[in-house]
Copies of this chain bind each other. A is one copy, B any other.
């Protein structure tokens, strides 16, 4: 791990609360913070490749404005003056946006995405766009027109994806917060593999307007930060009306992963010990038939919707896709309509089956991914003595919650052989605060409220 770039940037170990406090005590300025971000990017990104676009001048201008506002007593809250990165398929007016694809080389966004408007209203400064797996269609993060993003813990390894650049940018300390999208785990997977926190509220809570779609009924916008606490601060800052206090200790259960996928035993141990010993004693289980149907529904829905998004490009310019992405899209285009119809109709029934697990528990925990970061370009591995595809492994524990649109949070859960693992927390829609309450009680989190 001598080559690790994790936590090398200015923002490593600096929580959003620290930064907000420093800004208000005049120990730092938004301009300073943006300069630190730009410096870290300059220094680290040649290896990490987290960024596609860096808007230095525009960010410094915005930072000066943020500083003036603070001086004038206009305080937009905890993200005021904070440098943020957004995934390179989220529109920022006037900025290049490539979706990680040669199809959009040189494309410039016309207007801000809704989530960018929320960031701006909260005073955040969008310093740049982060590498995405081409069209967000892959959990490995190593197929992009911008090249693979690299894991700060070991640049020979994948970040995971598709929001790989967003995770790497935070993990390396280049920015304290990033925005990504999550259709089957694309926020949580790279967050877990890069040792940070990643959060997606329930489906539709952060609007997807102005985000290039992968699969409209599964796409979520999510947040990546060093800790769950920072995700919570950012979430509250962006959507204050969505975060009522809970006022009780969450009842936490542990989800048996066996119906979902084999999990590396050390990763499983790591996730278990991240929970304080008092929590998660009850083991809950998805019926195997439900787990299988959730997997099938995810594939049918994502395939049908993704292939529809790209039908014209597939017909007219297949050569512009990365070959692996092209192959996956062509395969997705063969999924029959009846399976898609079946999947949409199965959803309410599957939702009821999973909802039953929450009868006596608020939060279900399980590992976020069943393994640590594979090598870039690695496509197969062994897990629990089974040969598995890396892609299937990465998605297996996260995608069921996209099918159901449930809130999900991944938090760092220690390392295995120096590589990060993640603990995932799931709750009912509307109870996002319980995820943060639970995270606050885990071993790795700062005990702050």
By a beta-carbon cutoff of 8 Å, the part of chain A in contact with chain B is 300, 303-308, 311, 332-342, 345
Q: How far is B340's CA from A71's CA once the two chains are assembled, in angstroms?
A: 55
Given contacts A308-B345, A345-B308, contact A333 B338 (CB under 8 A): yes
Q: How far is B305's CA from A278's CA once the two chains are assembled, in angstroms?
A: 49
The 7 residue pairs across chains A and B that have the minimum distance between CB atoms: A304-B337, A307-B338, A308-B341, A337-B340, A308-B338, A335-B337, A337-B337
Q: Across the interface, name the chain B residue whose C-beta is closest to A332.
A: B338
CB-CB under 8 A from A338, the residues of chain B are 303-308, 311, 332-333, 335
Q: How far is B341's CA from A342's CA once the two chains are assembled, in angstroms?
A: 13
Number of copies of this chain that the complex holds: 2
Q: Across the interface, name the chain B residue whose C-beta is closest to A306.
A: B338
> Chain A interface secondary structure, helix, strand, loop or mixed?
helix
New contact pairs (17) apart from A304-B337, A334-B336, CB-CB < 8 Å = A303-B337, A304-B338, A304-B341, A305-B338, A305-B341, A307-B338, A307-B341, A308-B338, A308-B341, A308-B345, A311-B338, A311-B342, A333-B336, A335-B338, A337-B337, A337-B340, A340-B341
Q: How far is B213's CA from A345's CA once the two chains are assembled, in angstroms?
A: 13
Q: How far is B304's CA from A308's CA once the two chains are assembled, in angstroms?
A: 14
Q: How far is B334's CA from A333's CA once the two chains are assembled, in angstroms?
A: 11
Q: How far is B342's CA from A308's CA once the two chains are assembled, in angstroms?
A: 6
CB-CB under 8 A from A305, the residues of chain B are 337-338, 341
Q: How far is B216's CA from A341's CA once the two chains are assembled, in angstroms?
A: 10
CB-CB under 8 A from A304, the residues of chain B are 336-338, 340-341
CB-CB under 8 A from A300, the residues of chain B are 337
B336 touches A307 (CB 8 A): yes
Q: How far is B345's CA from A305's CA once the two chains are assembled, in angstroms?
A: 10
Q: How far is B398's CA from A335's CA once the two chains are assembled, in angstroms?
A: 29
Looking at the complex, which one of B337, B341, B342, B345 makes contact with A336 (CB distance below 8 Å)? Answer: B337
Q: Across the interface, name the chain B residue whose C-beta is closest to A300.
A: B337
Q: How far is B335's CA from A311's CA once the two chains are assembled, in angstroms?
A: 14
CB-CB under 8 A from A341, the residues of chain B are 304-305, 307-308, 340
Q: Across the interface, name the chain B residue whose C-beta is closest to A341.
A: B308
Shortest A1–chain B CB gap in Å is: 44
CB-CB under 8 A from A336, the residues of chain B are 304, 307, 333-337
Q: Across the interface, name the chain B residue whose C-beta is closest to A334.
A: B336
9 A/B residue pairs, CB under 8 Å, sorted by A:
A307-B336, A307-B337, A308-B337, A308-B338, A311-B342, A333-B336, A335-B337, A335-B338, A340-B340
Shortest A384–chain B CB gap in Å is: 31
Shortest A59–chain B CB gap in Å is: 36
